[in-house]
Amino acid sequence: MIKKNTICFLLFLSLFSCLEKKDAFFQELIDIEEDGGRRDLTTQEIGEIKKLIKSSAPEIGRIMKKLKSTGGDYKKAAKRYLFLQTEILNIISEIENLEKTLSEEKGEIEISSDDLEKLGEFSKMLSVHLMREEMYEKALFYLKKALSYYPENSILLYKAALCSARTAKFTIDNEKKNRLFNDSEKYYLSALAKNPDYTAALYGLAVLYIFELDRSFESEKYLLHILEVEKKHVEAMFLLGRVYVLKGEDNKAIEMYEKIISYSNVKEKKRKAEEFIAEIIRGGINEK
């Protein structure tokens, strides 16, 4: 006998990995749980679930994070994702139907700007849903669609950069990982070309250079630009302090951490900055 919570947990994983499938099998599992788990899962059902879990291994960390946000209520989590599945599938259906219509009409009549705008809007909507659920690779697919209609949109470029980097972190294949990180850099730079003062893109690019591309020194000018736009951007100050330490410019690093202590109202951030100053004075710093 598989316990009730186990059924819900496995279902939750299954829904997460099969977002684009409408399968009565999953609804049946929901029904089992709602009936109080009155029958065992069949061998075939267990096998299907195991295959789905295996295929979604890179998502496990994010799934566990989601479970925590529901307070361990597996039934609630499963229902939430069933609802999300339906909502996203509806948007996908709208996109596919519109693309089909446009494809059939192409060459026969002039495609209206309203239809193109609608397709771009549907793609944007879907990417927002997917990013909210931390499904970055799928979100990236629809962001690229949206960008084909709104290539000058700095917000879409920023989101594509973010999704590319997040997808890369969960990618095992090194060639694909490197390509995604490089794509992320290009999207960030494109976003900044449209809007040079876009602090989220400036910060995202700095994080990419420091933590993913091992090009920390290149982040300095972007972090300085953030502080020109937003004087009390504490997270940028932490990164800039880190860069100064790596460059051996201890005095500049201490000055930056002192600014954090002065500007921040968060005790933990003040304490962290104080610890870094103490480490620098002692002759070494270990930032995590």
List, for residues 264-285, the tens digit of each pLDDT value. Answer: 999 999 999 999 999 999 986 5
- Is 139 inside a domain boundary? no
Residue 256 φ/ψ, nearest 5 degrees = -65, -45
Q: How far does CA 112 lie from the centroid of its chain? A: 33
Q: Among residues 51, 78, 105, which one ends one of the domains? A: 78
| Residue 277 belongs to a domain | yes
In a domain, 33, yes or no: yes
- The dihedral formed by the CA atoms of 123, 129, 131 and 135, expressed in degrees to the nearest 10: -100
C-alpha triplet 116, 187, 137: angle, nearest 5°: 75
What is the helix (H) or strand (E) element at residue 235, kind and residue range?
helix 234-246
For residue 252, give the CATH number of its domain. Answer: 1.25.40.10
* CA separation for the pair 189, 166 (Å, rounded): 17
266 domain residue, yes or no = yes
| Amino acid 273: pLDDT | 96
* Domain end call among 43, 78, 113: 78
pLDDT at 93: 59
End-of-domain residue from the set 78, 100, 125: 78
pLDDT in tens, 145-163: 889 888 999 999 999 999 9
Contact 120, 146 (CB under 8 A): yes
Given a cut of 90, whether residue 67 has pLDDT beyond it is no
**Domain hosting residue 222, numbered range:** 214-288
Q: Is 101 left (phi over 0), alpha (psi -120 to 50) or beta?
A: alpha
Q: Is residue 114 part of a domain?
A: no
Per the domain annotation, does 52 fall within a domain?
yes
The reply to whether 162 falls in a domain is: no
Q: What is the DSSP string of 106-166?
A: TTTSPPPHHHHHHHHHHHHHHHHHHHHTT-HHHHHHHHHHHHHH-TT-HHHHHHHHHHHHH
Asked whether the predicted pLDDT for residue 113 surpasses 90, the reply is no
Number of domains in the chain: 2
Backbone angles phi, psi at 249, to 5 degrees: -95, 70
204, part of any domain: no
